[in-house]
Chains A and B, each alone.
Chain A
Amino acid sequence: MSEVSIRLGVDIGGTFTDVVLEKGSETYSTKVLTTYTAPEDAIIDGMHQVCAKAGVDPSHIGQIIHGTTLATNALIERRGAKTALITTEGFRDVIEMRTESRFEQYDLNLNLPDPLLPRQMRFTVGGRIDANGDVLVDIDRSEVEAVVDKIAKAGFESVAVGLIHSYLNPTHEELMRDILGEKIPDVAVSISSEVSPQMREYERFNTVVANAYIKPLMASYLGRLEDRLKTEGVACRIFLMHSGGGIISIQNAAEFPVRLVESGPAGGAVFAAHIAGRYGLDKVLSFDMGGTTAKICLIKNQTPKTSRVFEVARTYRFKKGSGMPISIPVIDMVEIGAGGGSLAHVDAMRQIRVGPESAGSEPGPACYGRGGERPGVTDADLVLGKLDPDNFAGGSIKLHPEESKSALSDHVGDTLDMDAVEAAFGVAEVVDENMANAARVHAVENGEDLSEYTMIAFGGAAPLHAGRLCEKLGVERLLVPPGAGVGSAIGFLRAPFSFEANRSVYMKLSDFDGDRIKSLLTDLKTEATGFVRTCDAVSPILSEFKVYMRYTGQGWEIPIELTEEQAMNPDEAAFEARFIEDYSKLFGRPVEGMDIEITVWSVNATTPPEQVPRIGEADGSGTATAIGQRDLFDAAAGKYLDTQIIERFGMAAGERATGPVAVIEDETTIIVPASRDAICQPDGCIDVVLRPTGASKNVEG
């Protein structure tokens, strides 16, 4: 790298491609429309724009970090390669039979989503591994060859291999990979014991199929991107953001493209974690709300919480179980169908319902005046005074409050005997309550008390709702960072190189085998470290050890973090103590007399996190100058209050504004409820804090 390190962060989203260039401490960003047919075009375009702003030549870019929704979209839109699955005889339909249950019990006309591969694209061969990893029935090479011949003849472009218990013994899958490589070397191959060596065949097979399905597409895209960048004179290495919140090499990304799913949101969580570092916050709730969905993530000790499985492409009102499960390391996020465009209606119980149906940008909510008749969250926000009709999106879209009012009256107020304002209040309260409920449930599932948390909000609609959400959740402090519109791309630049390797191996504490544990964790460490080394040849690499444990007989494992010392010198008593400690924290009390077992082992290798310097926090002794005032409906007070308007970028560090306040900027407005004050911090974050005692405003439900 040159004297001043120049790095580029690129996030391809559904609508926009965000490009951020960082030169030393300076940051330049742009948004360009995503170019679906050749996504690299938008990147090149955006790159030239930020290079011009920064006055640097593209050839001086030292590193590019890239995240993308392309993999996710290919899965959602079913635009993958012609793919075949080879699986164990007797189990052809695992990815189709799912859990044999209906994710919505109260819908007689429910249909389950089609599997990625229809039945005729799923082939079986004999051979069987048992639950101990021993070979129960040998595999017959000639039978495999016959299936491969069929696959070759049908012209499949990609093949997934998923066999029963292969996470314990991959030899049969590896043999198939070798035969496929010999007979049809041009066809992409993915095997489940490499892509996702975890127990539970439905999740594992789905994951390997998803990987195979998007592999040719992603490999071709990443190849083209490299070539284009070379043509443009950019010779640096390109790395990819993965769903677990770290970065991997372009080669690994092309081999395991399923790990790129959710890379954009992961960047957002890393961005929030970085802000948390700046303020020395150990407990943070990140809240990202856009046009159609809201995402919530817990960040402890400046590290986003991760999980081993998640669902992509939910087909039914974002309902759990309606998508496809992908078992890879992933930042654990709750996603709900609540955004600025979410539409409201009144159901048979005369309850206001909001989302997940969304107005989209055309015709948009009623206030756009483009023919949208149904009220959306944005309409409620407008009527309540949270938005300025003349300065929405920097004044580029003129909003029509009268259209909002009539839509709210027609679709909500008239049925409920409410005027447009009360209807707007109802819609805003319901959407905020939906998000608050999701956050509460997520916190309880993780044994956390949100009142100890700080919220960090980003995304276009989040600052409008975050203040009220904090009131509902008992969260005292809210930070709204600048640059939130390109948060994910900035997050990419803050992410470490990392790779998590994990494996399912059952071990009861009563059969504790320290030597085996040591060798297993050492293998995983070697594997994970190997991936990171291909990205960074010199940095030290840290290993984070985690095991998943439960009482024998339970179905739900809880993650237990181990120190390197505990992992490399395994001690039964120490494992037990760590489990009891975490179990009690989650569920109140341990269970006497039950054996404990370990089910999954995991090692995350990562370069050390960037040392984030703490900023000197302003106490807000200055007074911000209002540029005007308007009526803003305060949800806690239940009425309109006279509210100051303050320009975000007119606020100097250390200035305070007493709520209620609307802090406006081009992209969004930060609504500061009457219960809180806003302080401008030196890094440009707007710090919304609960006003200390003496608050005279009427605050109630």
Chain B
Amino acid sequence: MTPEHSKVAYQVMWNRLISVVEEQAQALVRTAFSTSVREAGDLSAGVYDVDGQMLAQAVTGTPGHVNAMADAVAHFIRRIGRENIQDGDVYITNDPWEGTGHLHDITMVTPSFHRGALVGFFACTAHIVDIGGRGFGADAHSVYEEGLYIPIMKFADRGTVDETLTRIIRGNVREPDQLIGDIYALTTCNEIGHRRLIDMMEEFALTDLNGIATFILENSRRATIERIAELPQKSAAGEMTMDGFETPITLKVKVSVQGDKIISNFEGSSGLDKKGINCPLVYAKAYACYALKVAIAPEIPNNAASLAPFEIEAPENSIVNALHPAPVALRHIVGHFVPDAVYDAFDKIVPGLVPAEGAGCLCNFQVSLRPRTDAPAPAGARRSEVLTFNSGGSGARPEHDGLNATAFPSGVMTMPIEATEHAGPVIIWRKELRPDSGGAGRTRGGLGQYMEVGAQEGHEFDIQAMFDRVDHPARGRRGGQAGAPTTIAQDAGGPMNGKGKQFVAHGRRVVMAFPGGAGYGDPSERPIEQVKRDLARGYISAETAADDYNLSRADIEEVEAAVARGDAI
């Protein structure tokens, strides 16, 4: 390549690598069996240089994989041994500490060879629905109970799949065909990336990725450090408290902007929980990094250099640095609250940039349906597992309302209820916005949602609840009010818990209200047009309009009359 045009060529190549990983991720979405991957986008894919430095990563539904993926390949190189890396190999693990935080994420790495030489790696990760053990939930007391553990090892050696490993996997999980299908989907996904990389290397007559890697990493590092250097160079402390499983969990963090890096130190946070909601450091780091990066350097793509300046420290065996063999299956619950804690601190360093607290963790639940046992079940009754992903409201932003029923910081999607009802004999009776749940403020918190779930005639079920913010609703910022808390109960009365597996008898329904985001700023400063609009749409009731926003009786009546006339407001 002629040197004077190399700058243009590198621009093109970087562009291409980002396209390659996006395509890799897309292939996985289309071929995966786990609902978490194909419907919700809980997956990740990336390309690496020979040293295991991540050069590009697909933007998918889950920031939680971001740093974990960036670190993973280096672990593979170390464990496999450079001398044992051969063309045609495929490596696998679900190690929570060297992969992405729990046994339910399978990470696969494929070395990429070009003209006989190792030139880089492809890696991808997917959240699979079952890995054996107790099943997906917080009930385990150690990682040993949470399912099959696959250390970093070769899945395929020079093109030959390890049939012993495959048999062990098949023998230890509830849906072996699905899981093996997913493992092959991950393999294919790396394969697609590899082919496209080789096409690019041929086109640009490259023999290695050193030049393009340096170009990507240097530009990313410089751009990220420039952003950090523009910030006030100081430290601030923040904290937030969540329900936890049985006892509340407090996250404490000190965020320090120090020249070319930002350190988040979680000294003082709660210790380990007995149940499986502990979070390995790599996953907490991902969300701390995401929170800061989306605030100060959102357009810089994720790679080894753009992530490196965001450092994390936490005491061993604290809730955000759980060590083996702590149970970690639902590590996402704590992970999803990390941004709220980090923002509590960062708001004191850069005021007016970050949102108020939001719903935080996803409002997911799984129902295990079976033929009723209290009376003879009808002939067609069956067993079925149905997992759903749902979101509460996000926190109000300084200049914008929070988003209604939209995931943050996670980015996963919900499933259509028509699809959910095809997945098993479940009936979703209600899934709609929850008025008055968004915390009042100059900008309002996003609304949570109502859901109501039951079973088809002849079935009973257990519900595995994975909710938080029952006792700790989202807190407002700068005078904004709290969002509404989570509630969960049976339709015939009887309280239920926010977390854990609970029985629901034949004919009964579970009635849930997911939390709203908190408000930002003094509600009395909210423009009256927006209060009227919220009232017209039913985001807020007349009582809230009057009590929280001082809307006059006359204004309320005017809005109600306009709605009856079908006028747009």
Q: How far is the CB of A174 from chain B (nearest CB, A)?
A: 19
Residues 138-171 of A contacting B (Cβ, < 8 Å): 150-151, 153-156, 164-165
Q: Is the C-beta of B416 less than 8 angstroms from some C-beta in chain A?
A: yes
Q: How far is the CB of B30 from chain A (nearest CB, A)?
A: 4
Count class of interface residues, chain B: 35 or more
Residues 521-571 of A contacting B (Cβ, < 8 Å): 551, 553-556
Among the stretches B137-145, B235-243, B291-299, the one at the interface with A is B291-299
Q: Is the C-beta of A91 less than 8 angstroms from some C-beta in chain B?
A: yes
Q: Is the C-beta of A352 less than 8 angstroms from some C-beta in chain B?
A: yes
Residues 407-425 of A contacting B (Cβ, < 8 Å): 416-418, 422, 425
Q: Is the C-beta of B430 less than 8 angstroms from some C-beta in chain A?
A: yes
Residues 188-239 of B contacting A (Cβ, < 8 Å): 188, 191-192, 196, 203-205, 219-220, 223, 226-227
Contact, CB under 8 Å: B538 / A120: yes
Count class of interface residues, chain A: 35 or more
**With known contacts A82-B566, A102-B411, A202-B416, A108–B433 Cβ distance under 8 A:** no
Kindly state the separation between the CA atoms of A153 and B565 in the bound complex, as whole angstroms.
Answer: 7
Among the stretches B70-78, B264-272, B396-404, B465-473, the one at the interface with A is B396-404
Contact, CB under 8 Å: B433 / A97: yes
Q: Is the C-beta of B181 less than 8 angstroms from some C-beta in chain A?
A: yes
Residues 78-127 of A contacting B (Cβ, < 8 Å): 82, 84, 89-94, 96-102, 105-112, 118-121
Query: Which residue in chain B gives the minimum CB-CB distance to A418?
Result: B7
A sample of 24 cross-chain residue pairs with beta-carbon separation below 8 angstroms, ordered by A number, consists of A91-B417, A93-B433, A94-B432, A97-B406, A102-B403, A106-B293, A111-B403, A112-B406, A118-B536, A136-B427, A200-B416, A348-B226, A351-B219, A418-B8, A426-B11, A433-B16, A440-B19, A444-B27, A472-B203, A506-B422, A551-B33, A587-B31, A587-B185, A700-B2
Partner of A101, one of B19, B411, B563, B568: B411
With A440-B23, A638-B2 given, can you name 12 additional A-B contacts, CB distance below 8 Å? A90-B432, A96-B433, A98-B406, A100-B414, A105-B411, A110-B403, A430-B11, A430-B12, A506-B422, A553-B178, A553-B181, A555-B32
Q: Is the interface of A mostly helix, strand, loop or mixed?
A: loop
Q: Is the C-beta of B113 less than 8 angstroms from some C-beta in chain A?
A: no
Q: How far is the CB of B419 from chain A (nearest CB, A)?
A: 7
Kindly state the separation between the CA atoms of A122 and B144 in the bound complex, as whole angstroms.
Answer: 50
Contact, CB under 8 Å: B397 / A108: yes
Residues 445-476 of B contacting A (Cβ, < 8 Å): 449, 452, 456
Query: Which residue in chain A gives the minimum CB-CB distance to B293?
Result: A106
**With known contacts A120-B563, A200-B419, A701–B31 Cβ distance under 8 A:** no
Q: What residues on B are CB-neighbors of A94 within 8 Å?
A: 431-432
Q: What residues on A are CB-neighbors of B355 within 8 Å?
A: 108
Q: What residues on A are CB-neighbors of B421 within 8 Å?
A: 130-131, 165
Query: Which residue in chain B gives the minimum CB-CB distance to A555?
Result: B38
Contact, CB under 8 Å: A348 / B537: no
Partner of A429, one of B12, B61, B191, B220: B12
Q: What is B's interface to A at a CB cutoff of 8 Å?
A: 1-2, 4-5, 7-9, 11-12, 14-16, 19, 22-23, 26-27, 29-33, 35, 38-39, 41, 59, 61, 63, 177-178, 181, 184-185, 188, 191-192, 196, 203-205, 219-220, 223, 226-227, 293-295, 297-301, 353-355, 389-391, 397, 399-400, 403-408, 411-414, 416-419, 421-422, 427, 429-433, 449, 452, 456, 536-539, 563-566, 568-569
Kindly state the separation between the CA atoms of A416 and B41 in the bound complex, as whole angstroms.
Answer: 36
Q: What is A's interface to B at a CB cutoff of 8 Å?
A: 82, 84, 89-94, 96-102, 105-112, 118-121, 128, 130-131, 136, 150-151, 153-156, 164-165, 199-202, 347-352, 416-418, 422, 425-426, 429-430, 433-434, 437, 440-441, 444-445, 472, 506, 551, 553-556, 586-589, 591-594, 638, 700-701
Kindly state the separation between the CA atoms of A492 and B260 in the bound complex, as whole angstroms.
Answer: 60
Q: How far is the CB of B568 from chain A (nearest CB, A)?
A: 7
**With known contacts A99-B414, A422-B5, A444-B27, A437–B11 Cβ distance under 8 A:** no
Partner of B431, one of A90, A99, A347: A90
**With known contacts A106-B299, A351-B219, A553-B178, A97–B7 Cβ distance under 8 A:** no
Q: What residues on B are CB-neighbors of A554 within 8 Å?
A: 30-33, 38
Q: What residues on B are CB-neighbors of A120 within 8 Å?
A: 536-538, 563, 566, 569
Q: How far is the CB of B161 from chain A (nearest CB, A)?
A: 12
**With known contacts A93-B433, A551-B33, A701–B226 Cβ distance under 8 A:** no
Query: Which residue in chain A gives the minimum CB-CB distance to B399?
Result: A109
Partner of A106, one of B19, B178, B219, B298: B298
Report, nearest first, the 5 A-B pairs whose CB atoms are least far apart: A154-B566, A555-B38, A90-B430, A106-B298, A131-B421
Contact, CB under 8 Å: A106 / B418: no
**With known contacts A93-B433, A112-B403, A430-B12, A587–B413 Cβ distance under 8 A:** no
Partner of B15, one of A105, A128, A437: A437
Q: How far is the CB of A138 from chain B (nearest CB, A)?
A: 15
Q: What residues on A are CB-neighbors of B181 within 8 Å?
A: 551, 553, 591, 594
**With known contacts A100-B405, A422-B5, A154–B430 Cβ distance under 8 A:** no
Contact, CB under 8 Å: B406 / A102: yes
Kindly state the separation between the CA atoms of A187 and B516 in the bound complex, as whole angstroms.
Answer: 38
Contact, CB under 8 Å: B407 / A434: no
**With known contacts A90-B431, A441-B22, A101–B406 Cβ distance under 8 A:** yes
Q: How far is the CB of B445 from chain A (nearest CB, A)?
A: 15
Q: What residues on B are CB-neighbors of A591 within 8 Å?
A: 177, 181, 184
Kindly state the separation between the CA atoms of A430 and B8 in the bound complex, as whole angstroms.
Answer: 8
Query: Which residue in chain B gives the minimum CB-CB distance to A203?
Result: B416
**With known contacts A96-B404, A551-B181, A101–B412 Cβ distance under 8 A:** yes
Q: What residues on A are CB-neighbors of B400 within 8 Å?
A: 109, 111
Contact, CB under 8 Å: B223 / A349: yes
Q: What residues on A are CB-neighbors of B399 within 8 Å?
A: 109
Q: What residues on A are CB-neighbors of B431 within 8 Å?
A: 90-91, 94, 97
Contact, CB under 8 Å: B192 / A444: yes
Q: What residues on B are CB-neighbors of A105 within 8 Å?
A: 59, 63, 294, 411
Contact, CB under 8 Å: B565 / A154: yes
**With known contacts A164-B418, A588-B191, A155–B566 Cβ distance under 8 A:** yes
Contact, CB under 8 Å: A426 / B407: no
